[in-house]
Amino acid sequence: MNPANPVDDPIEESTSQSTESSFGDILRQFEQEQSSVPAPKASEASGPVKGKVLAITDDSIFVDIKGKADGVLPKSALPPEMSEIAVGDLVEVTITGRNEEGQAILSPLKVEKPKDWSGLLSAFEEKRNVAGKVTETVKGGVRVDIGGRAFMPASRSGTRDAFELQKLVGQDVEVRILSIDIEKEDIVVDRRVVLEEESAKKKEERFLALKEGDVVKGRVRSVTDFGAFLDLDGVDGLLHVADMSWHRVGKPADVVNIGDELEVKILKLNANTRKVSLGLKQMQPDPWTVAAEQFQPGQKLIGKVARLTDFGAFVELSPGVDGLVHLSQMSWSKKVRKPSDLLKVGDQVEVVVLGVKPGDKRIELSLKSALGDPFVEAMEKYKTGTIVEAPVTSIQSFGAFVDLGDGIDGMVHIGDMANDKRIDHPRDVVKEGEVVRAIVLDIDKDRRRIRLGLKQLQPTRVDNFIAEHKVGETISGLVTDVRGNVLKLEVAEGVLAECRLEEPKKEEAKPAEAAGAGSADLGSLAAMLKGRWKEGKGGDPTPKAATIKPGVLRTCKIVALDSEHKKIVVELLG
């Protein structure tokens, strides 16, 4: 015998043993044995019939086939799929004969066993399934009685191992004849192809019975990185990881395991590919349907950081509902470049809801708002006129930024850095890290800016002049400007003083002079007034503004020094 070709094993075995009967002898013996069993009536042998299970004993099942006597179905003939049969079930059977009591002998197979050699040839040519009984195991497979002795290789038996193969002995099976050799009296049969066709037929029937939206039960057959495959009574369905839960799932194995029984909803059926898409999370209400009522702008919540992205962090507020904390909403005080600088997955954080858009499944959150706005406190702490001492954090061409703490920056404009001199760049005055003394000039709430000044705390030339002189002191000044009766005098380099000239008082005419004014000679009157001026009699000794020109050096006396308003007031002497 060739061990590599188990199909030839029965023939070789039969030819090597002289005591073993020929194929024809076996066939004749089989026909003689069958002759002792009453044949079914012509009306009964036409095909399979349906009956109702009436009773079950240890070795037999009694079925009502609507005849004069009940049919008997041997338990040993039941295939594994009929092992759970119960009283009241409807079964489809074939009548194979009658016993001595006249009861119909039933078979769970829906095909007949050939009665002779011509029947075998006909079944082979038509590729028709036939009934048979497994009689024994042999090397490489089993022997099957199909009206003649046939060999069924283990690989075509539909079993997975030797144990399952052994359990076939004594069972009625439905097979298809693969090959038949009349001369060698060799028959090879195949049960696996029959099982596969039945499985495919049942699978197709089951698929056609499914509808989108149906809720079905399935057993997890396998788990992959992208989901799990479920067996829906012979039909495979895919449960994608995105449809496992309303909350984010790291990997499918965190939710399901092989062998789990699940109740799922059919999401989509593809008639062309026969693919079935399943949903597990759809068995629960969508949490976003109540998000608008559950979360309101301004609400403060506790959530868990679910995942980080380049532009922010998603925080789980409730199962299936995540809100986004944008990078700009993470901190008042820190320049956060990426979310991982401040947060990590799993952190419990307090956030404030900024906006809710259930239709887009978006909730905007703020991490920094939950901590309180430090600028509000800064407005109370740094009122206009407050003097601060703080380090310079950065220098730009237009000014320098000063750290006031709690993420609050003050800005010193280049124009507020130095007195009495022009500077080309802020670096000419300050350096990064240097602690400067400044005064708060203005607070812009809308732009969140605090304007500071350095020069406002530095003494000017006017300050130095006021500190070095006293009221009543006589000084010299160069007239720089004349406007009306107001003079501007430069009393020191870059220091201006103000002098206000009084208008000359008009002298009232005496009654007698007034009476004769009409007859008086105008020339004589003018001569008289000029004489009085030269003699110092009458008139106003204060010079008129019109007589003073810019560029004239005059002696004056200090009459007021106002350090607060940086103002110097003088009066002219002589």
Phi then psi dihedrals of residue 255, to 5 deg: -110, -45
**560 confidence band (pLDDT: 50, 70, 90):** very high
Rounded Cα distance, 402 and 452, in Å = 9
Rounded Cα distance, 54 and 88, in Å = 6
Least confidently predicted of 88-102, 224-238, 453-467: 88-102
Burial of 362 (0-12, 13-18, 19+ CB in 10 A): middle
**228 confidence band (pLDDT: 50, 70, 90):** very high
Grouping H, G, I as helix, E, B as strand and the rest as coil, residue 560 is strand
Residue-level pLDDT at 19? 34
Whether pLDDT at 364 is above 90: yes
Rounded Cα distance, 177 and 42, in Å = 25
Rounded Cα distance, 156 and 175, in Å = 10
> Average of pLDDT values for 293-318?
89
Contact 187, 233 (CB under 8 A): no
> Which residue's structure tokens are 């203005």?
442
> Average of pLDDT values for 443-450?
84
pLDDT digits (tens, 9 = 90+) for 110-133: 676 777 778 888 888 888 888 888
Cα four-point dihedral sign 77, 80, 81, 83: positive
More confident residue, 192 or 147: 192
Can you say how many angstroms the Cα of residue 339 is from the centroid of all Cα atoms in its chain? Answer: 15
pLDDT digits (tens, 9 = 90+) for 129-163: 888 889 999 999 999 998 888 999 999 998 989 99
Contact 352, 298 (CB under 8 A): yes
> Average of pLDDT values for 367-374?
82
pLDDT digits (tens, 9 = 90+) for 310-338: 899 999 888 888 899 998 888 876 678 88
Rounded Cα distance, 278 and 230, in Å = 9
More confident residue, 4 or 419: 419
**506 confidence band (pLDDT: 50, 70, 90):** low
Residue-level pLDDT at 545? 60
Whether pLDDT at 6 is above 50: no
Residue-level pLDDT at 222? 93
Closest listed residue to residue 98, CA positions, set 58, 133, 68:
68
**261 confidence band (pLDDT: 50, 70, 90):** very high
Helices (H), 283-424: 291-294, 374-381
Please, what is the average pLDDT of the chain? Answer: 80
> Average of pLDDT values for 67-88?
75
Residue-level pLDDT at 543? 56
Task: Give me the domains of the chain, ranges plus CATH numbers.
Answer: 6-190 (2.40.50.140), 210-283 (2.40.50.140), 287-371 (2.40.50.140), 381-457 (2.40.50.140), 462-505+540-572 (2.40.50.140)
> Average of pLDDT values for 275-285?
90
Least confidently predicted of 184-193, 418-427, 501-510, 527-536: 527-536
Q: Are strands 172-181 and 141-145 parallel, antiparallel or unpaired?
A: unpaired
Rounded Cα distance, 96 and 109, in Å = 10
Residue-level pLDDT at 30? 44
pLDDT digits (tens, 9 = 90+) for 458-471: 888 888 899 999 99
Beta strands in 77-185 (DSSP E): 90-98, 104-107, 129-138, 141-145, 149-153, 172-181
Rounded Cα distance, 190 and 7, in Å = 11
Rounded Cα distance, 16 and 411, in Å = 109
